[in-house]
C-alpha cells in the first residue's frame, strides 16, 4: 500500500553530563556549553529522533539497526550521516519530507537562544525550508530525571508525501 501521506514519530533520550571534552550538538549545531550529551556517536539526540521518525514513516526499522552502538567504527560518529542515510532510505521508498516538528525536553541547555541556529542547521542537512522545521522546548517542571538535569529527551514527528 502506498498512501499519499504518512507520518512517523521518533523519540530519543541521552544522558547529560558536565564534560568539557565533548561538544554539545543539537541538530548538527554545536552549542557552547560546559555540558555534553553522552552517547556512542556524537549523541546528537535531535538528529536521532528525527531519523527514527523518518524511518518509521515508511515502516523501516530504527536507526540502531542501521548504526548499532556496538560497532566500534561508529564511535563519536557525526550523526548527520545517520540523518542522510534515513533520508536516502525514504527516497528509495519514493517519499519526501513535507515538514518535521520536534519538542526538546530538558532543563538545560536553554534552547531558545539557539533555536534559530538549530533550525538553520537542520534546514541545511535536510534540504528542507526553515518554515517546515519546528523546534520547540519544554521542561518537566523539575520533575524526574530530566528535571534533575540528568538528561535530555526529544520527540519528533515527520510528515512525508509520496513522490508521484
Ligand atoms: Mg540516540
Number of domains in the chain: 1
- The pLDDT, as a whole number, for residue 52 is 98
| Ligand 1 centroid to residue 43 C-alpha, Å | 6
Q: Tell me if 26 sits within 8 A of 114, measured CB to CB.
A: yes
Spacing, Cα 1 to ligand 1 middle (Å):
30
CA 14 to centroid of ligand 1, rounded, Å: 6
Q: Which residues surround ligand 1, an ion (CB under 5 A)?
A: 12, 48
Q: How far apart are the first and last CA of the chain?
A: 14
Residue 70 has a pLDDT of 85
What are the DSSP E strand ranges found in 5-94?
5-18, 24-26, 29-31, 35-38
User: Would you state the cell numbers that stand for residue 14, as one nine-digit string?
Assistant: 541521552
164 residues of the chain, pLDDT tens digit each: 789 999 999 999 999 999 988 999 999 999 999 999 999 899 999 999 999 999 999 999 999 999 888 888 778 899 999 999 999 999 999 999 999 999 999 999 999 999 999 999 999 999 999 999 999 999 999 999 999 999 999 999 999 999 98
Distance 151 CA to ligand 1 centre (A): 12
Distance CA 47, CA 18 (A): 21
Q: What is the CATH number of the domain that holds 31?
A: 3.30.1330.50
Query: Do residues 11 and 154 touch, judged by C-beta distance below 8 A?
Result: yes
If you search the block for the grid coordinates 530530566, which residue do you land on?
Answer: 146
Cα of 39 vs centre of ligand 1, distance in Å, is 7
Query: In which domain, by residue range, is 82 found?
Result: 5-162
Amino acid at each position: 500500500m502506498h498512501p499519499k501521506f504518512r507520518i512517523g514519530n521518533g523519540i530519543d533520550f541521552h544522558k547529560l553530563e558536565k564534560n568539557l571534552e565533548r561538544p554539545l550538538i543539537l541538530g548538527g549545531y554545536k552549542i557552547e556549553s560546559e555540558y555534553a550529551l553522552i552517547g556512542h556517536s556524537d549523541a546528537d539526540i535531535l538528529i536521532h529522533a528525527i531519523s527514527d521518525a523518518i524511518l518509521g514513516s515508511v515502516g523501516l526499522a530504527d536507526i540502531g539497526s542501521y548504526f548499532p552502538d556496538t560497532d566500534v567504527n561508529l564511535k563519536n560518529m557525526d550523526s548527520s550521516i545517520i540523518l542522510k542515510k534515513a533520508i536516502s532510505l525514504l527516497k528509495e521508498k519514493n517519499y519526501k519530507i513535507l515538514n518535521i516538528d520536534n519538542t526538546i525536553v530538558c532543563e538545560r541547555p536553554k534552547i531558545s537562544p539557539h533555536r534559530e541556529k538549530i533550525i538553520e542547521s537542520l534546514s541545511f542537512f535536510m534540504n528542507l525550508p526553515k518554515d517546515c522545521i519546528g523546534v520547540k522546548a519544554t521542561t518537566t517542571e523539575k520533575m524526574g530525571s530530566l528535571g534533575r538535569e540528568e538528561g535530555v529527551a526529544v520527540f519528533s514527528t515527520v510528515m512525508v508525501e509520496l513522490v508521484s
